[in-house]
Amino acid sequence: MNIKNFLLALFLLSICFSLTSNAKKSKPIDQKATTETVALFQNLIKLSEKHTLFGHQNATEYGRGWSGDDDRSDVKSVCGSHPAVIGVDVSGLSGRPAEAIENEKARLKKTVVDMYNRGGVTTVAWHFNNPVSEGGFYWKDGVSKPAVKYLIPGGEAHEKYKEILKTIGDWAHSLKGADGKLAPVIFRPYHEFDGGWFWWGKPHCTKEEFVALWQFTVSYLRDSLGVHNFIYAFSPDNKFSTEEEFLERYPGNKWVDMVGMDNYGDMGRDKYDLEGAAKKLKIISDFALKSGKLAAFTETGLESIPNKEWWTGTLLKVMQMHPMNLCYVLVWRNDMRSPTHYYAPVPGHTSVPDFMKFFDDPYSLFLNDLKDIYKK
């Protein structure tokens, strides 16, 4: 080896050592995070060096043609294991009668605690119905109000927002597993904020307003309400092509544990741009590595899965196109009644053989593959 090649190899080795050291030092932004939350954070970083956990939204709550069954998921019916990650949604914890909210808190608690007791991971989305106008969580012209400016400190609905966060905080404090410990969850509010379809989206608030909302939300839950079992995830949609664009509304490293991306458009919904999708994930993974954050493919999927080789020919190919550390990938839900709105296979679906290849690949981890993820 000549001196030029030797120095280049030494330089690359030093970068790898630096990134590895940063990962080992990484910890949640909450200095009072529970032991189990810290362990989950660090184990996800370690696992992401060689693997990605597979996740499915609402996986154990319902599936195609069923709901409320104990220990059931469509994924388990296909491959014999639940997903390693399930997604739930706290949309029902506001804007409803008190009794309905309490019932929803109890239902969601059971779902999360059951997954924790199994040794799996839960990520929490928040399709937050507009608290200052009609219109639900989507933006509806002529109906929706730009609520972000009303919710931040100084806004006319700020106190109302604090009450909503108290409900979420109370729920977080209730998530005690069979071991008596609080189940950690990955909390992912205000996702896909770079689009305009939600009331918190880019056209409906300034960068400063969005950052203020994010920072207050984290601070109030963590510092005022004492929630210490949340990992905070920041996930725009796919409307970026550079790190600068990805970070346009980033609230700062002190306010984020995980960075991710929701991307359906490049994965077959609008077009197949596998190189573009992989490039965006690479941007996220590289930023996470140098910033001591987790990285994830926070939402994706192909509705109805008409491409029977989507699992290995699209999803696995995108995630393995470049060296990347992605702790999980989550596909969207399987509706109970819709004949077309589903994102994971059921027995007999044409994509099952390819899904089994994805399941068997050492890169993908399912619940049966996890061990002591809440222990250091």
pLDDT band at 25, cuts 50/70/90? confident
Question: Mean per-residue pLDDT for 232-245?
Answer: 98
- Taking only the tens place, the pLDDT of each residue in 189-199 is 999 999 999 99
- Cα separation, 50 vs 128, whole angstroms: 35
Helix (H) or strand (E) holding 219: helix 207-219
Provide the pLDDT confidence category of residue 234 given band limits of 50, 70 and 90. Answer: very high
User: Residue 235's CB: how many other CB atoms inside 10 A?
Assistant: 25
303, 311 Cβ separation under 8 angstroms: no
Please state the rounded mean pLDDT for residues 358-363. Answer: 98
Residue showing tokens 């195609």: 64
Per-residue pLDDT, averaged over 269-275, amounts to 98
Statement: residue 10 has pLDDT above 70 = no
Any idea which residue has 């030494």 for tokens?
A: 10
CA distance 224 to 173: 13
What is the pLDDT, as a whole number, of residue 24?
55
Q: What is the pLDDT of residue 20?
A: 45
The Cα 56–Cα 342 span in angstroms is: 10
- The C-alpha atoms of residue 101 and residue 166 are separated, in whole angstroms, by 12
Q: What is the pLDDT of residue 232?
A: 99
| Statement: residue 338 has pLDDT above 60 | yes
How far is the CA of 357 from the CAs of 54, 77, 110, 296, 332, in angstroms? 13, 16, 32, 21, 20
Q: How confident is the model at residue 3 (pLDDT cuts 50, 70, 90)?
A: low
Whole-number average pLDDT of the chain? 94
Whole-prediction pTM value?
Answer: 0.94
* pLDDT at position 7: 40
Sign of CA dihedral 88, 373, 231, 190: negative
- The predicted-structure confidence for 86-145, as pLDDT tens digits, reads as follows 999 999 999 999 999 999 999 999 999 999 999 999 999 999 999 999 999 999 999 999
Question: What does the domain layout of the chain look like in residue ranges?
Answer: 3-369
- What pLDDT is attached to residue 125? 98
**The token pair that represents 76 in the structure block:** 């388990």
Does residue 11 register a pLDDT over 80? Answer: no
CA distance 296 to 52: 9
Compute the average pLDDT of residues 252-260.
98
Determine contact, residues 120/83, Cβ cutoff 8 Å: yes
Q: What is the mean pLDDT of residues 151-173?
A: 98
Is-contact 343 305, C-beta < 8 A?
yes
- Burial of residue 343 (number of CB atoms within 10 Å: 0-12, 13-18, 19+): buried
Q: How far apart are CA 142 and CA 178, in angstroms?
A: 48
State which amino acid sits at residue 192: E
- CA triplet 108, 113, 115: central angle to 5 degrees? 100
Predicted pLDDT at 337: 96
Given a cut of 60, whether residue 305 has pLDDT beyond it is yes
Tokens of 68: 């409320």
The answer to whether residue 5 scores a pLDDT higher than 70 is no
Span 171-221, pLDDT tens digits: 999 999 999 999 999 999 999 999 999 999 999 999 999 999 999 999 999
pLDDT > 70? residue 13: no
**Residues 6 or more apart whose Cβ sits within 8 Å of residue 361:** 312, 316
Which listed CATH number (3.20.20.80, 3.40.30.10, 1.20.1440.230, 3.40.50.1580) goes with 3-369? 3.20.20.80
